[in-house]
């Protein structure tokens, strides 16, 4: 891995962090809870991208960190949906049938 590529990957990771900053703005501003959840999901995916870029630049062992982060981001979305629905079961279609 030549020097300039490592520098470029680290710079790319910094830019991906910029994307995360945009997502955090949406978390703060987002009118609907769904917007905030989407932004949290972008933070998860953005985090995976940043960790992957740094893994390539420095040490490949960090790929596992990105794997775990991707896993947790998925569960955050599921937790949000289950918390949203009144019964906590999380299947809005079946709930809307009886109300």
Partner 1 sequence: MTEPLTAMLVGLGLVFFLAGTLGLIRLPDTFSRLHALTKADNLGLGFIVLGLALQADDWNVLGKLVLIWAFALIAAGTSAQLVARSALRRKSTPSERQAP
Residues at the contact surface with partner 1, assessed by CB under 8 A: 1-2, 5, 8-9, 12, 15-16, 18-19, 22-23, 25-26, 32-35, 37-39, 41-42, 45-46, 48-49, 52-53, 55-56, 60, 63-64, 66-67, 70-71, 73-74, 77-78, 80-81, 84-85, 90, 92-93, 95-96, 99
State the nearest-atom distance from the C-beta of 61 to partner 1, in Å. Answer: 9
Closest by CA to 38, choosing from 80, 69, 9, is 80
Cα angle value 23/27/28 (rounded, 5°)? 120
- List the end-to-end C-alpha distance of the chain, in Å, as a whole number: 61
Are the C-beta atoms of 84 and 36 separated by less than 8 Å?
no
Q: How far is the CB of 76 from partner 1 (least distance, A)?
A: 8
Q: Is 91 helix (H, G, I), strand (E, B) or coil?
A: coil
Output the smallest distance, CB 83 to partner 1, in A: 9
User: Closest approach of Cβ 84 to partner 1, in Å?
Assistant: 4
């Amino acid at each position: 891995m030549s020097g300039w590529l490592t520098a470029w990957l680290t710079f790319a990771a910094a830019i991906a962090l910029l994307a995360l900053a945009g997502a955090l703005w949406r978390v703060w501003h987002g009118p609907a809870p769904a917007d905030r959840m989407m932004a949290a999901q972008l933070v998860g995916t953005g985090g995976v991208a940043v960790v992957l870029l740094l893994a390539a630049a420095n040490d490949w062992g960090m790929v596992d960190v990105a794997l775990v982060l991707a896993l947790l981001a998925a569960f955050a979305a599921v937790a949000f949906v289950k918390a949203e629905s009144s019964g906590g079961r999380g299947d809005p279609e079946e709930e809307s049938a009886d109300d």
